[in-house]
Amino acid sequence: MGKLLVIGCGGVASVAIQKCAANYEVFDEIMIASRTVSKCDALKKKLEDEKKTKAKISTARVDADNTEELIKLISSFKPEVVLNLALPYQDLTIMDACLRAGVNYVDTANYEAENTSDPEWRSVYEKRCREEGFTAYFDYSWQWAYQDKFKDAGLTALLGSGFDPGVTSVFSAYALKHYFDEIHYIDILDCNGGDHGYPFATNFNPEINLREVSANGSYWEDGHWVETKPMEIKREYDFDGVGKKDMYLLHHEEIESLAKNIPGVKRIRFFMTFGQSYLTHMKCLENVGMLGTEPVMYEGREIVPIQFLKALLPDPASLGPRTVGKTNIGCIFTGVKDGKEKSIYIYNICDHQECYKEVGSQAISYTTGVPAMIGAMLVMNGEWRKPGVYNLEELDPDPFMDALNKWGLPWVVDENPTLVE
Ligand code: NDP
């Protein structure tokens, strides 16, 4: 049992916090702290009105870009674990604050700079593009650099405890532990068969989502990165529970950590499904400059185009009641066991409306919020407490896999999957 501080109170946090509150035998006190405290208060009220938790809930306002403010809050609440469900921009300030206050850290997405034109950040980024061969604005180097600091402090930092990364990382560790002597190929397939009825909306934070999707794709092959143009590689796949969908190869953060942590892996690819309407809107918005992240002057004041776009688009948290259909996310592994080549597919199917009935959110927030709670639980209860900075595939997958079944994301293993060409 222990105290948990959750930072951020958006779509993912709302699910994670409800799951933490339901798991009050592990989290007996929860503080919800975010930039807009009214959202934290509203969630606290919902939890108290529903009377489903014995956990003590409190709220606070915090600016997670401000390390000193965070340290003050952490030091006064004294949690065992901080669960960062704000944006990837805040990862480093929150990690710094956890180190200074002596608290364990969990997040769901790797660090990304908010201001990509900052010259200091840019010089590190350009060096990495040259040396590593991929141009995504995010990578693990910033957070892996905290390894010794967390180790020396005797604290755990768990990186990427969402679905992808997160569950896909745990699926990889589980496949290696129970099904293979060596894994050679990993295809991560993220299918959202949900329909929210809008011509265009994003399922999670629009700024983060659109930056990811409009970037170059890339995959890992034979020890190096192969970069593609955005959406250059397309495949069709028939997903269990959803049906046939077009999917596109994207760069995704877990490729970087799996390439490092799965010995002998030869190729790792990540595919995500998109409908034609989404792609046409995105291309058009990109062409007119609405995905820009640098401020432009408009009628005497600076505005950032993608932030203005975010204000116009439906709030991802509001998609819950309208979204019908299912997600199917998982990994196809090919490798060898006892000298024979074999493939397996581990995946979860999640129904948008069932999620909405349970927690008032669509499946994208649900499939991220549940593993965020599980990661925090395993650090809190000690099963995954190990000084240092870890991606999920570095830890024993079994307790996490059991918890997925228990907390709403049951998985299946298909031992005769259709492979992706
Ligand atoms: P939202 O935009 O819905 O929520 C973000 C929350 O963080 C909001 O409550 C926001 O406050 C708060 N916040 C933002 N900046 C600050 C700040 N400076 N100080 C304090 N609070 C702040 O995002 P999502 O819930 O969709 O996503 C949350 C995280 O989950 C992101 O990092 C995202 O990348 C990650 N994610 C991971 C996935 C995975 O599978 N691994 C999948 C989907 C998302 P306010 O309410 O004021 O805006």
* Ligand 1 atom closest to residue 316's alpha carbon, by position in its atom list: 3
For residue 257, being part of any structural domain is answered with yes
Same domain, 188 and 135: no
For residue 420, being part of any structural domain is answered with no
Same domain, 83 and 131: yes
- Ligand 1 centre from 245 Cα, in Å? 28
For residue 329, being part of any structural domain is answered with yes
For residue 259, being part of any structural domain is answered with yes
For residue 174, being part of any structural domain is answered with yes
Q: Among 189, 203, 205, 213, which is best to mutate for testing ligand 1, by the most ligand atoms less than 8 A from CB?
A: 205
Average pLDDT of the residues in 304-310:
93
For residue 48, being part of any structural domain is answered with yes
Helical axes 397-406 vs 363-380, angle rounded to 10°: 130
* Ligand 1 atom closest to residue 12's alpha carbon, by position in its atom list: 25
Same domain, 116 and 227: no
Among 136, 159, 182, the domain-final residue is: 159
Number of folded domains in the chain? 2
Q: What is the pLDDT of residue 293?
A: 84
12 Cβ below 6 A of ligand 1: yes
To the nearest whole number, what is the mean pLDDT of the chain? 96
Confidence of residue 377 (pLDDT cuts 50, 70, 90): very high
Q: What percent of the chain has pLDDT over 70?
A: 100
168 Cβ below 6 A of ligand 1: no
- Ligand 1 centre from 87 Cα, in Å? 4
Q: Tens digits of per-residue pLDDT, 312-342?
A: 999 887 888 999 999 999 999 999 999 999 9
358 Cβ below 6 A of ligand 1: no
Q: What SS3 string covers 214-241?
A: CCCEEEEECCEEEEECCCCCEEEEEECC
Same domain, 86 and 198: no
CATH number at residue 350: 3.30.360.10
206 Cβ below 6 A of ligand 1: no
Q: What is the pLDDT of residue 294?
A: 86
Q: What is the pLDDT of residue 217?
A: 96
Same domain, 287 and 191: yes
Taking the model in full, what pTM does it have? Answer: 0.95
Average pLDDT of the residues in 264-269:
98
Same domain, 337 and 239: yes
64 Cβ below 6 A of ligand 1: yes
Q: Tens digits of per-residue pLDDT, 12-57?
A: 999 999 999 999 999 999 999 999 999 999 999 999 999 989 999 9
- Ligand 1 centre from 106 Cα, in Å? 14
Q: What percent of the chain has pLDDT over 90?
A: 91
Q: What is the pLDDT of residue 218?
A: 97
Same domain, 73 and 206: no
* Ligand 1 atom closest to residue 317's alpha carbon, by position in its atom list: 3
Same domain, 272 and 319: yes
Same domain, 129 and 186: no
162 Cβ below 6 A of ligand 1: yes
Same domain, 262 and 279: yes
Nearest CA to ligand 1 atom 2: 205
Q: What is the pLDDT of residue 200?
A: 93
- Ligand 1 centre from 205 Cα, in Å? 7
Q: Is the peptide bond before 165 cis (omega within 30 degrees of 0)?
A: yes
Give the domain range for residue 313.
167-359
Q: Among 66-75, 87-96, 129-138, 343-352, whose mean pLDDT is lowest?
A: 129-138
CATH number at residue 73: 3.40.50.720
Same domain, 62 and 177: no
Among 306, 332, 359, the domain-final residue is: 359
305 Cβ below 6 A of ligand 1: no
Q: Among 111-120, 182-191, 376-385, whose mean pLDDT is lowest?
A: 111-120
Q: Tens digits of per-residue pLDDT, 198-221?
A: 999 998 888 888 888 888 999 999
Q: Tens digits of per-residue pLDDT, 65-116?
A: 999 999 999 999 999 999 999 999 999 999 999 999 999 999 999 999 988 8
Same domain, 102 and 172: no
Among 118, 139, 159, the domain-final residue is: 159
For residue 368, being part of any structural domain is answered with no
